[in-house]
Structure 1
């Protein structure tokens, strides 16, 4: 199967005919759409982010001879554009999705582990999330591990740690808030 995205390594986007330009954009669109939609959960916003990402790509395309590096670079641009959007728009939204940051690493691996660059990117994201988790209390880390990594129910967690479901819910809520606080501090959403 011919990769139209690789044509960007040979010459400027504007030098291609209209059909080839459409093919390049469509391939990029299908490459990054699932990843972006998984984060923003809105079709129109996803399309806006894809368009912004694509404009960045065609304005400053590096010259890679390796197809995998080229595709990975496209995904990094799309990911960074998505994170910038989330940072910028979190001020106007009433609440960030606390579970997004906790569940993201597992979801990313399950939906995106088709290629080597996806695996590398997902491992980097997991490492970043692990850093956040290592900065919270050990009780919270244990609960997060039981809930999201082992996928236990509140009832199963309560039985395992000899507590009540209500206390588990309350502590998990505090754990999510603690991770969110670290995330917001790291990404400085007050700019």
Structure 2
């Protein structure tokens, strides 16, 4: 964690609302995206992001600075998202049809504006297929896959977020990749 972020956190801990607003600005998009990718629903992701920051505000004194702040806040958002997934009481299988998936924010980063309309349509279809495959993963695999490949967290950071041993994280990433491979028919 950089020194500036540490100072903001210390100011927020001492009750400085402007400092807390800075923390929200720093993390609001990341928290929303983690939640959205886990839930596939914009409204639920917005609700989780809001609840995450309410919990951060209420529990800021419990934050342990020996860990990265981002890890702590991702853990809160991930746990809240998992709670919503549990409440849905659906068994998500690889072949399950997903409702409420409203597109993928990260597809804009993959799209090449110099491509022709046909190529863009093919890319959009592939991205939709990948998003559907990700949403079709078992939530325990989806969470670690998103944290690893979309949020680019290390295995140690993922372990801290989901509170599981690194060996379990490695297994879930491997199984998640295999499930995606089967779903997408890649060899």
The answer to whether the 8 Å contact 1:4/1:27 transfers is no
CA deviation vs aligned residue, 1:13-40 (integer Å, no higher than 9, x gap): 7x224x4332221222123222111111
Structure 2: gaps spanning 5 or more residues? 94-135
- 1:6 to 1:70, Cα distance in 2 relative to 1, 3 A: farther
The answer to whether the 8 Å contact 2:155/2:170 transfers is no
Structure scoring higher RCO (CA < 8 A, sep ≥ 6) equals 2
Structure 1: gaps spanning 5 or more residues? 134-140, 157-191
Alignment partner for residue 109 of structure 1, among 148, 164, 169?
148
After TM superposition, the runs of 4+ consecutive aligned structure 1 residues lying more than 4 A away are 1-6, 114-117, 121-126, 128-131, 144-147, 149-152
TM-score (norm 2): 0.54
TM-score (norm 1): 0.53
- SS of the residue 2:180 aligns to: helix
- 1:33 to 1:65, Cα distance in 2 relative to 1, 3 A: same
Residue number in structure 2 paired with 1:127: 168
- 1:60 to 1:52, Cα distance in 2 relative to 1, 3 A: same
Q: Distance in 2 between matches of 1:111 and 1:145?
A: 13
Shift of 1:7: 2.6
Larger Rg: 1 or 2?
Answer: 1
Count, aligned residues = 138
The answer to whether the 8 Å contact 2:31/2:49 transfers is yes
Larger helix fraction of residues: 1
